[in-house]
Amino acid sequence: MPRVNRRDFLKCAAGGSAALAAVDWNGARAAETPSRPNILWIVSEDNNPFLGCYGYPLARTPTLDGLAKEGVLYENCFSQAPVCAPSRFTLITGLYAASCGPAHHMRAQGKIPKDLRGFPAYLRDAGYYCTNNAKTDYNAPINIKDAWDECSNKAHWRNRPAGKPFFAVFNHEVTHESQLFPRNQARYKPLAEPTDPAKIVLPAYHPDTPELRRDWANYFDQMARLDAQVAKLLKQLQDDGRADDTIVFYYGDNGGVLPRSKRFCYDSGLHVPLLIRFPRKFQGLAPVAAGSRVDAPVSFVDFAPTVLSLAGVAIPKPMQGHAFLGPQNAGPQEFAFSFRNRMDERYDMVRTVRGKRYRYIHNYMPHLVYGQHVQYMFGQTSVKVWDRMYREGKLSGPPKLFWEEKPEEELYDLQTDPSEVKNLVARPEHRAILERMRAALREHLLAIRDNGFIPEGSALEGYQATRDPAAYPLEKILQAADTATKRDPANLPKLIAGLDDENECIRYWAALGCVMLRAKAAPAAEALAKRLEDSSGSVRVAAAEALCYAGQAEKGLAVLQECLLKHASPRVRLQAANAFQNLGDKARPALAAIEQAQSDADDYVRRAIRYTAAVLKGEAAKDQGQ
């Protein structure tokens, strides 16, 4: 991270002197300037840039479009995950959630550095008044009282002591996924000019159904309601006389929320709007003139250091993002990195890198279908309809692929294929960009010590634990995972050797590699059977599932039942529940144990296993969603 000198700060800030100190996790002090900007974050939930200023003719968003005209529009802003909690971890810490396992999973408590503070704490140390209204959902034990002067639905810049600059966050839930559930849609008074479903232009991956058109139309209506809420907040700022000294950010907390968006590592799940308005007195902090657009990728890991930079506060060294504004601006970045792991009750693992034009995806669990049954996701009527159409054999082309297994790698040209349905991995003319982005992703995974290769619940998880190369030999583990995802029977000897490795993660990926090979892993049955008594419950589950495909289902099912009903770790029990779902009819002999597990103490285990029981009994259609 470059040091910031006095001359550069004075050039960008609004006068005064600067004294920026290089700090570690503890302590930061403000530049001693007589005038520092207030900073307002306006956050909406679960939405892509469905705004007029981003080129959507059906949008009715005059307030946000006006913010774009008066400020800067970022064309390529991405959340760290296609869901809120892991992304909010990154927003509050300036760290990738995958650096602090299990924070990369949905609804988990990341094992963070002992001195890690929510970044507003540094602003408070520097004299700012910091408020959050009101969502936290940080996926980590962040000290709320340290981070915020006030964190509640009454938090407001208006409550600050006289003369203090403020950093204020307001979260708007009107665009949240749940607002498209039928029971919630009924609560809204119809708009004077509702969106016409007939005018919706569906993406290539969606089947053309009345339900999907209706949900799309409802979503544009929710964006119009959001715009009205933002207008009220900006009016408060204007009425208070603070608009002329406040930098305003507007962004979405992750993509979404129509089917194949939230939870999925495409632009539909990760691309979010970002608009930033700079008042005249702080125009020196703007990267370009008002009304301009910036196409360099930015992502949530950059937000904390950027706000600190704008406020004249030194960026703590361990932060992994890059300031893209202010005197500590690190300059444009080539790529933005994102990820997916467990979403509620369903496991998956995806890593992705996005540049200005291309997206590269590595699916580390390609044997799992994209559209796994997640109870919450199935609360949306259009998801249920799409799923039913697949089961009835009524789909073809891109809409069909969502319900099938994934390739190991995906590469998309967003310029020519905004729906991301034309995989370019096998195209010789795209070989160079494929190799460039594949290498960039691997370099990133190593740099942040990505915890996603550790089975959830393992003692290896966490920021500090994974800094030990002896305990977490990540390069070797990456090789094991890459071998597994190839799904090549020729690699079976490597997988068998990996089953005897001293490292839990390598044994886990070796067993998963056998799962991915299904019946082709039969020659590994003896080595897999040895792992049924592994010290790691996660390895036992993976080996047992593999044996069910490899001709020894009786042995495998017995261990899966034991792990499901008796293991002390709820996450190992959840892994066993997922294995039963993946096995389909092969799990039928274990139906009694599956039904017994419906009373598990863990909600995610209950959700997963309840659906599996329903499927095995032919009752799935009655138990699909909220």
CA dihedral of 6, 9, 14, 17, whole degrees rounded to 10: -20
Strands 166-172 and 129-133: parallel
Q: What is the 3-state secondary structure (H, E, C) of 13-38?
A: CCCCCCCCCCCCCCCCCECCCCCCCE
Q: From CA 602, how far away is CA 563, in angstroms rounded?
A: 14
Residue with tokens 């305003």: 248
Distance CA 337, CA 428 (A): 24
Reply yes or no on whether 84 is catalytic: yes
- What is the distance between the alpha carbons of residues 348 and 352, in angstroms, rounded to a whole number? 13
3-class SS of residue 357: coil
Q: Where does 240-290 have alpha helices with state H?
A: 267-270
3-class SS of residue 169: strand
| Rounded-to-10 torsion of CA 281, 282, 284, 289 | -90
Q: 449: Cβ–Cβ under 8 A, 6 or more apart, which residues?
A: 99, 463, 466, 467, 472, 474
Q: What tokens were used for 342?
A: 């467990």
Length of the chain: 626
CA distance 626 to 623: 8
Report the C-alpha gap between 164 and 140 in whole angstroms. 29
Residue 302 C-beta-side C-alpha neighbours within 13 Å:
24
45, 178 Cβ separation under 8 angstroms: no
Cβ atoms within 10 Å of 566's Cβ, excluding its own: 10
Strand order in the sheet with 350-354: 336-340, 350-354, 358-363, 409-413
> Rounded to whole angstroms, how far apart are CA atoms 178 and 151?
23
Active-site residue (options: 12, 77, 84, 151): 84
Chain CA centroid to CA 195, Å: 29
- Cα–Cα distances (Å) from 193 to 48, 69, 220, 257, 386, in that order, read 21, 24, 11, 22, 28
3-state secondary structure of 318: coil
Q: What gap in Å lies between CA 576 and CA 558, rounded to an integer?
A: 11
Residues recognised as catalytic: 84
